[in-house]
Amino acid sequence: MTGIAQNQYPLIVFEKQEKRVFNPLTKKRLVLRPEEIVRLQWVETLQYVYAIKKSRISCEQAVLTAYQDKTLRADLVVYDEQFKPMILIECKSNQVELSSQTALQAGVYNTTIEAPFILITNGIHDVWFEKTESGWKTLAHAPLQESHDQDFKLDADYWIERGFIGKLIDRERVKLLLPFLSHLYHKSGNLIRYRAFSQAPDNHQMNHFYASILSGDSLYHTSFLADFRGKSSWWTLVTKNGVNEQLIYVDVDAAFADIHPHVWVYQKGKRLTGSLPVDFFISMSPFDSPQKICDSLVHFSSSL
């Protein structure tokens, strides 16, 4: 089944100019490893989608098995209200396909924990198992009840805490972006994946969660992200038939402040500059699809 947690995002902090994820269970700042991101997406999901208290979630719980020469640790264990093991969660990178070996690994961990449910996930796909009298069977749906009573607001603070916009953002003008961010990252149904780039133009920081949007024969990979200074940017990589066509960078703070130029387009070894129309963000409708907005951005970049 499609990954439930791919529209949830971990807390982001900066340490000596380096981006880190923050684990609210252990209170630790951690290097952004792909499997760590998936695990923290599930911590967010358990708290804010299923209203499970942090006291009922164990992270990297030590597991006693027959393998005495090494320490095994379960990614996440969820306890019921009587604090009995309920779910064992095994997390993999979104670049790793789930396999029978993944299920076997989770099963080995569960010989000690004895949870009645097991989840193996790479963030994009989830596979649930339930223990029955006749053995383990797969489930079509998560064995959890969603909660609609959580105080969960997709306001500016939510996006700042998760590294999508910087703390220096204009608090009035950012209201223009909030419906787009909510639609793009929570409601659009587009594939969301954390992407790390080995090289970025002009020493920019580009690593973050990107939404992939199909538009005709083009595929947009688009992301809003903050840097260690608290500044905000909007990146869109345009590909056709698997080939990178252009990369568009928008300095969001400069655009809001009407500072020119605030758009850079990298294509075919060239760097072009420009500025969005003054009403670009103002004209965004809460009902506009992410595809339509990205189409407008790409159309503008083509005119430079």
Whole-number pLDDT of residue 113: 92
Residue 82 has pLDDT above 90, yes or no: yes
Residue 269 has pLDDT above 70, yes or no: yes
Mean of pLDDT over the chain: 92
Confidence grade of residue 243 (pLDDT, cut at 50, 70, 90): very high
Lowest mean pLDDT among 73-77, 92-96, 198-202: 198-202
Confidence grade of residue 67 (pLDDT, cut at 50, 70, 90): low
| Alpha helix positions (H), the chain | 34-48, 100-113, 156-161, 178-182, 252-256, 290-302
The percent of residues in the chain predicted with pLDDT above 70, rounded, is: 96
Two structure tokens written together for 135: 């053995």
- Architecture of the CATH domain 4-139: 3-Layer(aba) Sandwich (3.40)
pTM of the model: 0.91
Rounded mean pLDDT, 183-199: 87
pLDDT digits (tens, 9 = 90+) for 113-142: 999 999 999 999 999 999 998 989 999 999
Rounded mean pLDDT, 1-22: 93
pLDDT digits (tens, 9 = 90+) for 16-38: 889 999 999 999 999 999 999 99
Q: How far apart are CA 85 and CA 190, in angstroms?
A: 33
Whole-number pLDDT of residue 148: 62
Q: How far apart are CA 225 and CA 177, in angstroms?
A: 13
Domain ranges of the chain: 4-139, 164-302
Beta-carbon contacts of 102 under 8 Å, excluding residues fewer than 6 positions away, are 90, 92, 96, 120
Sequence letter at residue 100? S
Whole-number pLDDT of residue 66: 63
